[in-house]
Amino acid sequence: MITTRTATPADIPAITSIYNDAVLTTNATFDTQPRTLAEQEVWLAAHGTEYPVLVAEVDGAVAGWASLSRWSPKLAYSGTTEISLYVHGDYRGRGVGKALMAAILAAGQSAGFHTVLARIVEGNDVSVRLHEAFGFELVGVMREVGYKFGRWLDVLLMQKLF
């Protein structure tokens, strides 16, 4: 059974481990250096109550996490947020991503956001399909905006309006 809940500081080691695996082995994030526990503690605290961070648990283990983050510090963008979602490799294909997506979107809607943006690297078809299943639409492609693992990468920009 998959449960979702608000992340706490006790979840930082699991969140960091899941994220750092993505940093080192995938193009899902354009970070190229793993984050420290201290950096992730600051990251979680900076989200506060306005920008939710959730974890999904399977049998008591953190199987993934999702967050909503500030899109821009400019005041006119205050109704816009950006989603991030990562699932531990051992739990992919088991519904964790869907559970997290449903929960983080519900949290975003409850928080009063008007739109959610997602940046997805070219070729991450699983992520694109997940976002499409929850009503995200492709609004553009940013060409060769990231360089990782020896090549330039395009990023799809997807959007969901509440």
Residue 91 corresponds to which tokens in the numbers above? 């739990």
13 part of a folded domain: yes
Q: Is 32 a domain residue?
A: yes
Find the mean pLDDT for residues 70-79: 97
Domain span holding position 16: 2-115
| Distance (Å) of CA 46 to CA 5, 50, 66 | 18, 9, 15
151 lies in some domain: no
Measured in whole angstroms, the distance separating CA 11 from the mean position of its chain's CA atoms is: 15
Distance in angstroms (rounded) separating the CA atoms of residues 37 and 117: 26
Which pLDDT belongs to residue 27?
A: 96
What CATH number is associated with residue 63?
Answer: 3.40.630.30
Q: Is residue 33 situated within a structural domain?
A: yes
Mean pLDDT for the chain overall: 97
Please give the Cα distance from 65 to 70 (Å, whole number): 17
Is residue 143 assigned to a domain? no
Number of domains in the chain: 1
Q: Report if residue 70 sits inside a domain.
A: yes
Q: What confidence tens digit (pLDDT) does each residue in 109-149 have? A: 999 999 999 999 999 999 999 999 999 999 999 999 999 99
* 0.85 surpassed by pTM: yes
Q: What is the pLDDT of residues 86-101, one digit of tens each?
A: 999 999 999 999 999 9
Question: At a CB cut-off of 8 Å and minimum separation 6, what does 10 contact?
Answer: none
